[in-house]
Amino acid sequence: MTTDSSAIRPRMLTGDRPTGPLHLGHLVGSLRNRVRLQATYDAYFIIADLHMLTTRNTPEDIAQVDERARGLVLDALSAGIEPDMAVFYLQSAIPEVHELAGLLQSLVTVSRLERLPALKDMARDADVEMSFALLGYPILQSADILSVRAQSVPVGKDNYAFVEVTRELARRFNSRYGEVFPVPEIIAGEAPTLVGTDGKRKMSKSLDNAIALADDAATVRKKVMRMYTDPHRVRTDVPGTVEGNPVFAWLDVFAPDPVQVNEFKRRYEAGTVGDVEVKEYLSNVVNDVLEPMRERRATFSQPGLVDQLIERGTRQVRIETQETVYVMRRAMGLTGAWNRIRRRAERTGS
Ligand code: TRP
């Protein structure tokens, strides 16, 4: 007899919109957490291109989805996600998710959605008006989560409100039509937010202050050397400020040896170490973090491998989604209505 541990493992779903390559901020903010969680959970990863459409829907955006989807999967694999355990899937290849979302729509009010600050933030950041699709973003996300009946959803703070909506929808569906869905838990990552190379804002590709996980060693070094530091520090012997200095914020996150970091901080504040020396150290630290990931990336970069993973995962989730939709329709009585009409039509027809 073989032991099947997957049968007793709880299921989690998380994922990203395919809007660009992942960077160090994602590594600290979500990827490391995902890698940890795969030991305990059956891990499903959505490539949420339908969610991307809620703010970015030009043909140019859409034309990039497959390349960016591959990129997301490679980033995840390079960070330590194990391909044999994980299920990666492309949301837009599962049209039934729209049907599922449609069946949920009557269980939430427009005003509940209009009151979500996270949605207004997304509209503002993307510089778009609130479309019907964007208003429905949390319902679509709920459809994702409920389609695979995930028990757990590891997401960042910006997504908590959406999973709250999912929890309400699951409870409402269950109490109105019968127990179908587990009410999913949010798994909060205890992750710090990583500041960008500009030292001012959260790391983000669109702000051009990011180091991509796929950047090579020379690019990393160049970006670190150009990083913002203490602007008042015109010479090495001028005492510098550690507080709010992104170079030290990154060292706190990535350096393996806090004693050495503290020594750099002390010397920086005393004016006995130059920015260049600290940055040399930081660039090595970051490259030491990325180097094993580069090796993993190379092993998974053989042609077709990532596409096969996505294809396999998407087929699996499509079948699961079709089953879930069927169970919902049955619980709601919709299959019964159609069956009775069909049967009567057969009986009365000549
Ligand atoms: N909303 C997520 C983001 O911020 C993407 C996403 C779509 C998602 N569906 C999901 C995350 C389901 C977790 C579970 O990009």
| Protein residue with least CA distance to atom 13, ligand 1 | 14
Which of 79-83, 86-90, 201-205, 314-318 comes out lowest in average pLDDT? 201-205
Residue nearest to atom 3 of ligand 1 (CA): 16
104 neighbors 173 (Cβ within 8 angstroms): yes
Q: How far is the CA of 48 from the centre of ligand 1 (A)?
A: 6
Residue 6 has pLDDT above 60, yes or no: no
Q: Which two tokens stand for residue 74?
A: 């490679």
Work out which ligand 1 atom sits closest to the CA atom of 13.
14
Distance CA 246, CA 125 (A): 23
- Summarised one tens digit per residue, pLDDT across range 69-103 is 999 999 999 999 999 999 999 999 999 999 999 99
Residue among 90, 149, 162 to mutate when testing ligand 1 (max atoms within 8 A of CB): 162
- What pLDDT score does 1 carry? 45
Q: Whose CA is nearest to atom 10 of ligand 1?
A: 141
31 within 8 A of 155, measured Cβ to Cβ: no
pLDDT of residue 190: 73
pTM of the model: 0.94
Residues 6 or more apart whose CB falls under 8 angstroms from that of 318 comprise: 89, 93, 94, 96
C-alpha angle with apex 72: 68 to 77, nearest 5 degrees? Answer: 145
Residue 33, number of CB atoms within 10 A of its CB = 19
CB of 97 shorter than 6 A to ligand 1: no
CA 174–ligand 1 middle distance (angstroms)? 23
| Residue 329 reports pLDDT greater than 80 | yes
* Separation between Cα atoms, residue 26 and residue 30, nearest integer Å: 5
State residue 189's pLDDT score.
Answer: 81
Tell me, using a 6 A CB cutoff, whether residue 155 lines ligand 1: yes
Q: Which residue has the tokens 């959605």?
A: 113
Q: What is the pLDDT of residues 169-178, one digit of tens each?
A: 999 999 999 9
User: Residue 234 has what pLDDT?
Assistant: 87
Which atom, in ligand 1's list, is nearest to the CA of 158? 4
49 lines ligand 1 (CB under 6 A): no
In this prediction, residue 246 carries a pLDDT of: 96
Smallest CA separation from ligand 1 atom 2, residue: 16
3-state secondary structure the chain: CCCCHHHHCCEEEEEECCCCCCEHHHHHHHHHHHHHHCCCCEEEEEECHHHHCCCCCCHHHHHCHHHHHHHHHHHHHHHCCCCCCCEEEEHHHCCHHHHHHHHHHHHCCHHHHHCCHHHHHHHHHHCCCCCHHHHCHHHHHHHHHHHCCCCEEEECHHHHHHHHHHHHHHHHHHHHHCCCCCCCEEEECCCCCCECCCCCCECCHHHCCCCECCCCHHHHHHHHHCCCCCCCCCCCCCCCCCCCCHHHHHHHHHCCCHHHHHHHHHHHHHCCCCHHHHHHHHHHHHHHHHHHHHHHHHHHCCCCHHHHHHHHHHHHHHHHHHHHHHHHHHHHCHHHHHHHHHHHHHHHCC
Indicate which residue's Cα is closest to atom 9 of ligand 1. 141
Average pLDDT, the chain: 96
At 144-155, the pLDDT tens digits run: 999 999 999 999
pLDDT for 2 beyond 50: no
Ligand 1 mean position to 19 CA, how many Å?
A: 12
Q: Who's near 35: CB < 8 A, 6+ residues apart?
A: 79, 80, 81
Extract the tokens encoding 241.
């400020």
**75 within ligand 1 shell (Cβ under 6 A):** no
Ligand 1 binding pocket includes 122 (Cβ within 6 Å) = no
Average pLDDT for 47-67: 98
